[in-house]
Amino acid sequence: MTVLSSIFAASDDVRDVDLSKVHNLSGPVAVEGAEPGDCLVVDILDVVPFEKMPWGYTGIFELENGGGLFAREFKSRACKAIWDIHGIYASSRHIPGVRFAGVSHPGLIGTAPSAELLATWNKREGALIEAHANAVPPVAFAPNPTGAHVGQDLPDDVREKIGKEGARTIPGREHGGNCDIKNLSRGSRCYFPVFVKGANLSVGDLHFSQGDGEAGIITFKTSIIKGGVEKFALKQPIFVPSPIDPLYSQKLVFEGISVDYHGDGKQYNMDATVAYKQAALNAIAYLMKASRLVVLAIVRKSIRFCLELTIKHMRLAREQAYLLLSAAPVESHVGAVVDSPNACVTLAIPTGIFDHDIMPKEEGLKKLDFGQCAIRSDGVL
């Protein structure tokens, strides 16, 4: 299906991304007076994109190179949507009919671990990797010297030790890290446990909105609460969300329970992850009902070619819905985790981000043409 690549933008950069080089951070910044056992307070004053780079993107990673929430379910292949940022709003040529206010925030922020905590991370994550050695995508990522970036002059033996033992920044942990909490925007406050002298705060992976990565500038200030770890029983960070949030009063809420997200009817016991996945799949299926298949005006004698092209476009609406849920200011809540066997999780989509009505009606949903997202240059989905 190379015809598609000649007409639409490609997502080969997502397909081929070197994931050993993600999350180059600003820092570590030593905070004078911070000692192990203290609580580092970080007030986020502002998060803005670079003036000359008013854009971001949302991508679906390849199953074999990064994966994602539905990597196995969708047998994920690379797709992406580019978002143009206009002040506080974002819109995309790849998902037309949608415009939303951003909640700019750092995807990654946290203190440095002590040597003991780092060893704990490597031990527990190493055991998980060993138990699922052939998992695709991987269940965790071990230290990897390839692409390791320390950013200062160090003896070769120290640099080698960091590469072999230093934790990857992909997951969040006790120190904070890559938690992608969208409400850590301007005006929010973070309380981080301190594990080493100076706290060594690092920050990066800025987002315009959740899942929408970009380069930019973050401004913050710090203070210290002595002995805060003991005072607050601080095993992981505590956050106070920003008082500034996009005002979307009406939301369409999708429910998910701990059952049947593979379509096989399997019952899970109080599994909130399964329930969340089902809520997201329900939302994606609903949004697909509000889209129309795009059939290109290409004259070909081969009926098989036309059929393959139509099927390929049939799948594109799903990828667009998936990308939209990754970037838009959606809200998810755990509704119930007490009534076995079904945990209940909800996912809410603000209806105001659409320029058309997506509410359920007697006559069904209006079919609209949403074009397509950027796919691989070889047309594979």
Cα–Cα distance, 14 to 10 (Å, whole number): 9
Largest CA distance in the chain: 76
CB contact set of 338 (below 8 Å; sequence gap of 6+): none
Q: What is the pLDDT of residues 348-374, one digit of tens each?
A: 999 999 998 999 988 888 777 778 888
Domain residue ranges of the chain, discontinuous segments joined by +: 14-240, 251-375
Q: Whole-model pTM above 0.85?
A: no
Give the Å distances, CA to CA, from 50 to 55, 85, 108.
Answer: 9, 11, 18
Percent pLDDT > 70 in the chain is: 89
- As a whole number of angstroms, the distance between CA 380 and CA 5 comes to 10
Residue-wise pLDDT tens digits, 137-184: 888 989 988 878 887 788 888 888 988 999 988 899 999 999 888 889
Q: What is the mean pLDDT of residues 322-335?
A: 91
Q: Which residue has the tokens 């993107």?
A: 57
> What span, in angstroms and rounded, lies between the C-alpha atoms of 11 and 5?
10
The tens digit of pLDDT for each residue in 24-53 reads: 789 899 999 999 999 999 999 999 888 888
Q: Does domain 14-240 have CATH number 3.30.465.10?
A: no
Which of helix, strand or coil describes residue 217? strand
**Using omega within 30 degrees of 0 as the cis cutoff, is the peptide bond preceding 28 cis?**
yes
- pLDDT tens track for 244-260: 888 898 999 999 999 97
| CA–CA distance, 117 with 174 (Å, rounded to integer) | 9
CB atoms within 10 A of CB 356: 11
Summary mean pLDDT of the chain: 85
| Angle ∠(82,245,219) on CA atoms, nearest 5 | 75
